[in-house]
């Protein structure tokens, strides 16, 4: 199963006035979470909830499922 971000989360946050400095300084998101966003890695549910609150959106606005070529359903 491959979940990926539909949008550049850091750019979307920047558009709402949240720089990475502000996110770290105000303990909104941790440095490790910011690094996962940069690398496109998975996040904990709590972080997805926080992103949805910050961006005023639903999880489906941020994430999409992309079926991998070799993936089969059994």
Structural domains present in the chain: 3-65 (1.10.260)
Token pair, residue 74, equals: 């059994």
CA distance 28 to 4: 22
As given in the structure block, the two tokens for residue 53 are 């609150």
What pLDDT digit, counting tens, does each position of 5-55 carry? 999 999 999 999 999 999 999 999 999 999 999 999 999 999 999 999 999
pTM: 0.85
**Which own/partner contact pairs does 44-52 have at CB distance under 8 Å and 24+ positions apart?**
51/9, 51/13
Q: What gap in Å lies between CA 34 and CA 39, rounded to an integer?
A: 9
């Amino acid at each position: 199963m491959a979940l990926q971000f539909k949008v550049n989360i850091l750019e979307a946050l920047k558009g709402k006035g949240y720089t990475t400095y502000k996110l770290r300084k105000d303990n909104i998101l941790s440095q490790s979470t910011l690094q996962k966003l940069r690398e496109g890695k998975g996040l904990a549910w709590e972080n997805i909830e926080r992103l949805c609150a910050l961006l005023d959106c639903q999880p489906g606005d941020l994430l999409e499922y992309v079926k991998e070529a070799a993936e089969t359903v059994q």
